């Protein structure tokens, strides 16, 4: 039996026995036009050779509603599939923003607490310095104890210890020794580094300085911390 597409006038051949007596909907494999054919509407015309083919006949057999490409397009246009795609994209965006936010928060925290981080991992000091962030000292929770001074001719010896009353390991700051004569005149100042660059929580680090100076033994000795300095 021959049928002709009403839209593009392509002619197809199908078996008459496969057509429902009440009418059968078929789809043109050339232009995708859908129309209804009846078993008693057989056309008396020759079938052009170019339009006769096994694959084309199979595409318009009973029960087929669309070619594979059309089915794929319909699946892609399905609203449920579109919602799933949007949900997947939204989920990926949430993951990306979440991970990016965590990384930025970690970077910000590492910059704020860089002094504590580098106290535990001194190898990180050059990394922060290359990024333009110096490692500063803080005298918070630190005390100077066991301070002793003695004179021998023009040599002043100063010794003591720095105690960390905190619970975290920190960089040990340098100390400043100031020598002031009885009249209140500042004779000299000296910067002294403790024996260790790092001091653990609830621990102490000793320091010692030997200074040659022409001063009266009655001169006052002041010892304090030098904060906001870069790490050694």
* Final residue in a domain of this structure, among 35, 52, 77: 77
Among residues of the chain, what percentage have pLDDT more than 90? 47
For residue 100, being part of any structural domain is answered with no
User: 10, 51 in Cβ contact below 8 A?
Assistant: yes
For residue 121, being part of any structural domain is answered with no
For residue 134, being part of any structural domain is answered with no
pTM of the model: 0.56
* Final residue in a domain of this structure, among 77, 101, 130: 77
User: Cα–Cα distance between 14 and 2 in angstroms, integer?
Assistant: 6
Structure tokens at 208: 């010692």
Distance of CA 116 to the CA centre of its chain: 22
Q: Total structural domains in the chain?
A: 2
Sorting pLDDT into bands at 50, 70 and 90, what band is 96? very high
Write the DSSP string, 86-137.
Answer: HHHHHHHHHHHHHHHHHHHHHHHHHHHTHHHHHHH-GGGHHHHHHTT---B-
For residue 123, being part of any structural domain is answered with no
Query: CATH number for the domain including 216?
Result: 2.60.40.10
For residue 107, being part of any structural domain is answered with no
184's torsion region: left (phi>0), alpha (psi -120 to 50) or beta? left
Report pLDDT for 71.
55
Q: What is the DSSP letter of 71?
A: H
User: Cα–Cα distance between 198 and 204 in angstroms, integer?
Assistant: 10
> What's the whole-number average pLDDT of the chain?
82
At 172-181, the pLDDT tens digits run 999 999 999 9
User: 212 pairs with which residues across the strands?
Assistant: 155
Range of the domain at 217: 142-225
Give the residue carrying structure tokens 């965590």: 102
Report pLDDT for 76.
54
Distance of CA 199 to the CA centre of its chain: 33
For residue 133, being part of any structural domain is answered with no
* Final residue in a domain of this structure, among 44, 77, 110: 77
Report pLDDT for 179.
94
Supply φ then ψ for residue 222, to 5 degrees: -110, 135
68's torsion region: left (phi>0), alpha (psi -120 to 50) or beta? alpha
For residue 62, being part of any structural domain is answered with yes
**Residue whose C-alpha is closest to residue 154's, from 215, 93, 207, 113:** 215
What number of helices (H) and strands (E) belong to the chain? 5, 12
**Residue 48 predicted with pLDDT over 70:** no
**Residue 92 predicted with pLDDT over 50:** yes
User: Cα–Cα distance between 160 and 202 in angstroms, integer?
Assistant: 16
CA end-to-end distance (rounded Å), the chain: 97
For residue 151, being part of any structural domain is answered with yes
**Residue 67 predicted with pLDDT over 70:** no
């Amino acid at each position: 039996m021959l049928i002709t597409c009403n839209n593009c006038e392509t002619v197809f051949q199908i078996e008459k026995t496969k057509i429902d007596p009440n009418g059968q909907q078929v789809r043109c494999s050339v232009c995708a036009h859908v129309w209804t054919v009846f078993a008693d509407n057989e056309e008396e015309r020759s079938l052009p050779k170019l339009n006769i083919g096994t694959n084309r006949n199979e595409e318009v057999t009973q029960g087929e509603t669309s070619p594979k490409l059309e089915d794929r397009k319909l699946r892609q246009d399905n609203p449920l599939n579109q919602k799933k795609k949007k949900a997947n994209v939204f989920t990926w965006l949430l993951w990306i923003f979440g991970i990016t936010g965590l990384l930025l928060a970690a970077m910000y925290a590492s910059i704020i607490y860089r002094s504590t981080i580098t106290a535990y991992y001194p190898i990180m000091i050059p990394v922060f310095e290359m990024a333009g962030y110096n490692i500063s000292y803080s005298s918070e929770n630190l005390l100077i104890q066991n301070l002793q001074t003695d004179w021998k001719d023009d040599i002043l010896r100063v010794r003591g210890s720095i105690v960390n009353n905190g619970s975290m390991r920190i960089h040990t700051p340098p100390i400043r020794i100031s020598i002031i004569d009885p009249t209140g005149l500042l004779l000299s100042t000296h910067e002294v580094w403790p024996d260790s660059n790092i001091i653990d929580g609830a621990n102490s680090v000793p320091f010692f300085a030997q200074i040659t100076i022409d001063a009266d033994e009655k001169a006052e000795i002041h010892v304090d911390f030098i904060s906001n300095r870069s790490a050694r």
